Amino acid sequence: MYDVFQTDRLIDLWLAEDIGYCDLTAQVMIEADEVGAFYMNARETLIVSGIDIAARVFKRYDPTLEVIVRVKDGQKIEAGTVMIDVRGNARSVLTAERTALNIVQRMSGIANETAKYVAAVAGSKARLIDTRKTTPGLRMLEKHAVTCGGGLNHRLGLDNGVMIKDNHIAVCGGITQAVQRARRQLPVLTKLEVECDSLTQVAEALEANVDVIMLDNMSVVDMTEAVKMVNGRTKLEASGGINLSTIGAISMTGVDYISTSKLNQAAVCVDIGLDEAE
C-alpha cells in the first residue's frame, strides 16, 4: 500500500521534528561508542500495523543498527510479545525510539479500531470501508492500518474516482445533470458515485446509471427501502452517523458497503514500549 520513497521522506520529517539540533539527553549522558540491546514489546493485546515503518525509522536514523522484526502487520499479538529487536549504538537507539514508537502505536490503534467494526458487521454482506478523513500527511499509512484491521479502502485521494456530493449537485442543478457532465470526461475504467440523502435522490441516481449510490445519513428504515428499490442494480454505500452502536443494524439492511471516519478519528494509540534487553 505505502510507498517506501514517500515513507522515507515522512520519516525524515518526523525525526527532524523530534530531534531538532540534537538529542541533548543522549549526548550528555551516553558515551559516543556505547552500545546497547533493546526490544520493542506489546503491553496490551493488539493488531500490528506499521511495524516495518517503525523498524525503518531506526535504520533511517542510523544504518549501522541491527534491527530484527519479530511480527507482521495484520497479526494479532498478546501483551508481552516482542515486536522488534534493535541493537547497536545506544545513543542512536534512544534518539529514534519515540518516533518509532509513535507511528506503530498510532497505526496499530487504527487497526484495532477497524477490527472492532469488522466484528460488528460479521454475518452481514456489508464490507467496512474507510474515508478521506485522515491525519494530513499520514493518509497512506492510516489507510494501510485499516486494511491490517480487516477493512477496505475507499478513495485514496480525489484523483481515484468521481464522487458527486450535495454541493456538486447544487452547482449542476440536479443529479441527472451532474452525472451527465461527469460522464462526458470520465475515464472509462473510473467509477462514479453519487451521494443521496433521500429516496427520491436514490431513484434519480439509479435512473442515471451510476456505479455506486451513497446513502448519506439515512435512517435504517430508508436504507432498507433503498435496498429494495435498487434490487442489486448498483452498489450501495451507507455513510454518516456510523459508530459501533449503530453499525450492526445498518449492516443488516442489505447495503454493500459501510464507510466511517471513526476508524481513524476514534482510534486510540496502543501501548507499546522499548525496553533494554536483559
Place of cell 433503498: 226
Partnered with residue 215 across adjacent β-strands are: 196, 238
- Among all residues, which ones are annotated catalytic? 98, 133, 165, 195, 216
**Quick one: DSSP state of residue 159?**
G
The C-alpha cell at 98 is 519515540
- DSSP codes joined into one string, 239-276: ESS--TTTHHHHHTTT-SEEE-THHHHT-----EEEEE
**Quick one: DSSP state of residue 217?**
S
The C-alpha cell at 171 is 452547482
Distance CA 16, CA 107 (A): 20
Task: Say which amino acid occupies 209.
Answer: N
Distance CA 165, CA 230 (A): 19
The C-alpha cell at 146 is 485499516
- How close are the terminal C-alpha atoms of the chain, in Å? 36
